[in-house]
Structure 1
Amino acid sequence: MPESVFLTDDGDGPTPLLFGRVLDGKGGGRPIDWTEALDWKPGAPGEVLWVHLDRTRPGVSELLQSELAIPRTTAELLVSHDTRPRAFREGDTLVATLRGINSNPGAQPEDMVSMQLWSDGKRVISLRRNPLQTPRDTLALIDGGTGPGDAGALVTSLIEHMIMRMNRSIVDMNDHIDALEEADGGDTAERVLEEIAIIRRNCLGLQRHMGPQHEALESIARDAPEWFEEHDRREITETIERLRRYLDDINISKESAMVMQDELRARALARSNRTNYLLTIVAAVFLPLSFVTGLLGINVGGMPGVASDHAFWIVVGLCLGVFAVQLFLFWKWKWL
């Protein structure tokens, strides 16, 4: 069967296999097709099989149970839509569900994608539903001869690349916040507030998934089988610390967004209060003047000054006098 069938990650091939490699224990690996993967046995010391599968294909759960003797509940977990991060040891095997940043076009950072892992120390099976870039990062290292040499290092590499991709999204969010802070007055407050709300939703989405992932990684470092060597546990511990720093960065980004949001709302409220204050002053100025002119404008008999040529200027002078008294009182009361 042509090798190219197993080098695409579009899930359109005739089998669940997206790609497969047999690790040689020295950082490299050779491609393997689906038929060979089903009957694979270690041909040399240190060889490890890695297959990356599309879990949405029919019969994947049954295949895991029949070919790998994976318990039914575990097989169903590996192909289920329950993608909350978790990890546990089952005998001499490691089972994990992890979530990573969705780097697909048009996706938001909080739209995370999941990857399921199963390994018995000789075989590593990774499964996904939507395209995920993390396995491709590790695959490139293997094809370049600088990849992991055993199952524990392979699992560690997959987890490290998944967590490292978080940093890019966090840096992008921080850059976006900095750009919003430095934006000129031409940007409307409504648009900036909308973008800040998006950033806060992204932060909350990342926190919602990364919190359980932190616990899953701690479970791997604590309870992984014996084939997960000590240096692999140290690498996982470092990854946990990196994830903790990323979570702290997410908190800082969220707090920065909240501070900016509060500041913009305070500015908008201050502008609104200033406008209302000016309108109130104008109304207070013209209310007595409107009363005087309205009183003199009633159409009834006996209005004084109707026959006088100087009555108009007298009224104007009266209004100016009232206006001057108002300005003095407003100044004295510190309204102006």
Structure 2
Amino acid sequence: MNDFAAVYEQGHVRELSREELLTYAGIGFTWLHIESADPNLHSLGDVALPEIVAGALTAAETRPRCDAVDHGAILNLRGTALEKTEDTDWLVSIRLWVQRGRVISFSRMTLGAFPKVRAAFLRGELADPGDLVSLLAREISLELDPHVAALSDELDDCESALETENIYGLRRTVAQVRSAAISFRRFVAPDRDALDALTSLNFPWLAAEDVLHIREATDRFARMAEELEAVRERAALIHEQLTDLRTELVDQRSLYIAIVAFIFLPLTFITGLLGMNVEGIPFAHHPWAFWGVVAFCALVGLVVLGWFGMRHWLKR
């Protein structure tokens, strides 16, 4: 279990142990962050919290949300992980219990935005819970924005490849982009809704400047949600185009095979007829007969090919 505990008091920041922070009786702003990947952790033990709050902080599965409890707020957000592993989602959750003068946060993996927020707290830039929440929301949205833009850029590359008809391998790429967009949007839109709900609660510890910063992050989340929806729709359209192109290629190749088979059908009949081991085959004992048959077969093939050309069956 990785803990971070510190207090901002009269312009100075001090890191404390978990025990020291839990027994702190001053008037400063305290922040306790707990990080544990233990799936059996269902309570915060020595941290005195209402049962509903403790359950919300340590729930195994969470979605972004914001709920008022007494004079505090339960805030769950999702952001990119600091280090993504193969067995985890793109986005990890951070759960916060925010009150006047105190923030308790919990996560099962390190959030990508957490080191920046922690550093800002240690520099004394976060003087109250509103500052911390607004900075966290902004950093989460800024961390996520390049990933969403990268999905759109990747689809641009796929569309360029379609123009050159270089479709091999694109189906898997488009499917991966679409899956990532769906995964992102699953939590980006609720992040927006949770922050929007927070600004409407009018807590006294949420200053007007903090509300502006949170709304800025909310707008960024809203824009990302719209872009992810566009990426998903574009991916579906590209997938349809790929399916049409593959069908067209199969039809075209099937046509070529049919043309070749049709050309060789009369030639096979001629050679089969002349190759019978019976008496009476014309010109069987003439030295020029073989080349005569070859020339006749070539002529028949050219006639059939010309007929296909006249019917415009050879055009793409």
Q: TM-score, normalised by structure 2?
A: 0.86
- 1:123-162 to 2 correspondences below 5 Å: 123-145=102-124, 147-162=125-140
Distance 1:175 1:233, change over 3 A: same
| Pairing of 1:22-41 with structure 2 (within 5 A) | 22-24=7-9, 26=11, 29-41=13-25
The reply on whether 1:233 has 2:211 as its aligned counterpart is yes
2: CA distance, partners of 1:284 / 1:189: 30
| Identical-residue share of aligned pairs (%) | 26
Query: Of the candidates 167, 171, 175, which is equivalent to residue 149 of structure 2?
Result: 171
The equivalent of 1:243 in structure 2 is 221
Report the Cα distance in structure 1 between the residues aligned to 2:162 and 2:73, rounded to whole angstroms.
53
* Residues 124 and 205 of structure 1, relative CA distance in 2, 3 Å threshold: same
Q: Indicate yes or no: 2:30 matched with 1:49.
A: yes
Cα deviation, 1:256-296, whole Å, max 9, x if unaligned, reads 43444444444443333332222221111111111111111
Are 1:84 and 2:63 counterparts?
yes
The number of residue pairs the alignment matches comes to 312
Could you list the runs of 5+ residues in structure 2 that have no partner in the other structure? none
The answer to whether the Cα contact below 8 Å between 2:53 and 2:97 also exists between their aligned partners in 1 is no
Cα deviation for residue 222 of structure 1 reads 1.4
C-alpha RMSD over aligned residues: 2.9
For 1:41, the aligned partner's letter is A
Deviation at 1:140, TM superposition (A): 1.2
Of residues 101-110 and 32-41 in structure 1, the stretch that sits farther from structure 2 once superposed is 101-110
CA distance in 1, matches of 2:167, 2:234: 16
Q: 1:121, 1:207 → 2: CA distance?
A: 32
Say whether residues 1:61 and 2:44 are aligned partners. Answer: yes
Cα gap change, 1:165 to 1:31, in 2 (>3 Å): same
CA distance in 2, matches of 1:87, 1:213: 9
Q: Which amino acid aligns with 1:135?
A: F
| Alpha-carbon distance change, 334 to 219 in structure 1, aligned in 2, over 3 angstroms | same
SS of match in other structure, 1:227: coil
Q: Does 1:118 pair with 2:102?
A: no
Confirm or deny: 8 A CA contact 2:174 2:239 kept in the other structure. Answer: yes
1:188-227 correspondence to structure 2 within 5 Å = 189-227=167-205
1-structure distance, mates of 2:3, 2:44:
16
Tell me the secondary structure at the aligned position of residue 82 of structure 1.
coil
**2:75–2:98: 8 Å Cα contact kept in structure 1?**
no
Aligned to 1:6: none
Give the distance between the partners of 1:313 and 1:33, measured in 2 at CA. 100
Indicate how the Cα distance of structure 1 residues 107 and 314 shifts in structure 2: closer, same or farther if over 3 A, else same. Answer: closer
CA contact 2:42–2:59 (8 Å) conserved in 1: no
What is the rounded CA distance, in whole Å, between the counterparts of 1:168 and 1:24 in structure 2? 36
Q: Which residue, 53, 58, 74 being the options, matches 2:53? A: 74
Deviations 1:171-228 (A, max 9, x none): 3333434455566999974433222221111100001112222221222111253332
For the structure 1 residues 92 and 184, does the alpha-carbon distance in structure 2 shift closer, same or farther, using more than 3 Å as the test? Answer: closer
Q: Distance in 2 between matches of 1:188 and 1:63?
A: 61
Q: Matched residues in 2 for 1:269 and 1:187: separation?
A: 13
CA displacement 1:229-267 (0-9 Å, x = unmatched) = 333223222221111011122223334434444444444
